[in-house]
Structure 1
Amino acid sequence: MENYTDINSATVDGWVAGGWEWGKPISHETYEKALRGEWGVYLTPTKIVPHAWFGELRGKRVLGLASGGGQQIPVFTALGAVCTVLDYSKAQLDREREVAAREGYTADCVQADMTKPLPFADGTFDLIFHPVSNCYAEKLEGIWQECARVLKPGGVLLVGFDNGFNYLFDESEREVIYKLPFNPLKDEALYKLSIENNWGIQFSHTIEEEIGGQLKAGFMLTDIYEDTNGVGLLHEHGVPCFYATRCVKK
């Protein structure tokens, strides 16, 4: 099998070229509003992250982890943060550079695989913003350990993630057809289906892997909220398929 993270990088590049929602950069007007202090960003599909989760951003060093696309980093930059964005998708980083060129700032863009050691020194960042993307990583323990390593003591980790429910259902969300854990690397038929349907190689994860993993890496959970898919049958029935967490490095 080809390295699954390489498959995911190429898949996301294709999604972006096709107009993927999370690969559409913010407008100039949205950037201007952020300069005036009017802003909102997302860790999960529909809920804006509370401003209180960030604290004062001016002068803070922020890492956007797997958060390319020109949606969050421009906002943090407008608010005075010193930002770095790491993503494995070239297309997502290109969107970051486009916004930076348009608005006249320099984007520190790093193309790297988040499942590998992060290319940053210990204690580099004050805050990590990590929207839904762990579903493209088979194992999470190393990601949490690396987040803890590159954050300063007292640094903040903001994470969005799914709870696995979406992986149970067919496209209509009316029939349960898959089993959890959802892992194409351990199911040849599921791997083939993932490639044929251009899903990339995605994985379900448990709350133990997500929140428990953060706690084991040395973080303290300070807040949490739920969110839905935003569209579809599960959303219409109010089923929470996503969580966002705020943790602080001890």
Structure 2
Amino acid sequence: MNTSKQNSIAWDKKVEEGSRYTQSVSAEIINKSKAGDWEITVTTEKSVPRDWFPKNLKGVKILCLASGGGQQGPVLAAAGADVTVTDISKKQLEQDQMVAKRDGLNLKTMQGDMSDLSEFDDESYDIVVNPVSNLFVKDVRPVWNEVSRVLKNKGILICGFTNPLLWIFDDNQERKGILDVKNAIPSSTLDFLKKDELEDYIKTNQTIEYAHTLEDQIQGQIDAGFLISGFFEDDFGGKRILDNYIKTFIATRAIKLKVE
């Protein structure tokens, strides 16, 4: 099946349902960002440290990768960056377009798959911002390779991703407060469903998600030519039982370094 198409439709549905990750920032936040008081997230709760970015974003070319929803892109554009937002979901991108029109921002959008950035030239961006999203692609390593290609030498990748431990527990049981180890890593949503459940899952336009190993997440960046220069962990903000035991999200800052 075409998982990219499935996830595109699923995220369009999430916009219609008003999911947290589809809710655009307010005009007040944009005004503060224009005045230099800005912050973004690439995980769930914690803001990205400001020193992960250059002090002045004016004219800095930023690709917000799989980052639709009117959140990161508009804030960075308001702070002075030259921003392009790409996402698999047309409706997510419409959120960015809405904020840009509402608040007078210069911001470009392009629909596409994060694993294939062929529409973008080599070494054309200073920074790539990639919030938690690579769980929606089957193989994460092509994402790192494509990001490395479009970044300039010494360009910065700021990304969030899931700790694979999140996936080992039975999801239904965990939401009842029971930690029942059930699933292996790597794996996907589809691996956990019976045939009749799978058909219903697809028909109801649910996202297909993939649990990647930390080796693919971190060593994958290194193999693509990155040096990890920053790291933090995050959680659901106390909303799930796992927050009592471990942080289930990771953010890294990485620098592309050409080896001559």
Structure 2-normalised TM-score? Answer: 0.90
Query: C-alpha displacement at 1:54, in angstroms?
Result: 0.8
1:177-188 alignment to 2 at 5 Å?
A: 177-184=182-189
The residue type equivalent to 1:125 in the other structure is Y
Could you say what secondary structure the match of 1:248 adopts? Answer: strand
Query: C-alpha displacement at 1:197, in angstroms?
Result: 7.0
Residue 232 of structure 1 aligns with which residue? 240
- Note closer, same or farther for the CA distance 1:232–1:197 as it changes in structure 2 (3 Å cut): farther
% identical aligned pairs:
38
1:209-220 alignment to 2 at 5 Å?
A: 209-220=216-227
Query: C-alpha displacement at 1:20, in angstroms?
Result: 0.6
Q: Provide the rounded CA distance (Å) in 2 between the counterparts of 1:52 and 1:206.
A: 28
Query: C-alpha displacement at 1:229, in angstroms?
Result: 2.1
Higher mean C-alpha deviation, range 186-195 or range 209-218? 186-195
Query: C-alpha displacement at 1:38, in angstroms?
Result: 1.4
- Note closer, same or farther for the CA distance 1:72–1:203 as it changes in structure 2 (3 Å cut): same
Q: Provide the rounded CA distance (Å) in 2 between the counterparts of 1:98 and 1:83.
A: 15
Query: C-alpha displacement at 1:166, in angstroms?
Result: 2.2
1:5-20 alignment to 2 at 5 Å?
A: 5-20=4-19
**How many residues are aligned here?**
248
Could you say what secondary structure the match of 2:210 adopts? Answer: coil
Query: C-alpha displacement at 1:98, in angstroms?
Result: 0.2
CA RMSD after TM alignment:
1.8
Whether the 8 Å CA contact 1:158–1:247 is kept in 2: the answer is: yes
Whether the 8 Å CA contact 1:172–1:233 is kept in 2: the answer is: no
Q: Provide the rounded CA distance (Å) in 2 between the counterparts of 1:234 and 1:196.
A: 30
Whether the 8 Å CA contact 1:158–1:246 is kept in 2: the answer is: yes
Structure 1-normalised TM-score? Answer: 0.93
The residue type equivalent to 1:219 in the other structure is F
Point out where structure 1 has 5 or more consecutive residues left out of the alignment: none
Cα deviation, 1:191-245, whole Å, max 9, x if unaligned, reads 817537754110001111001000000000101011112221111x141111000
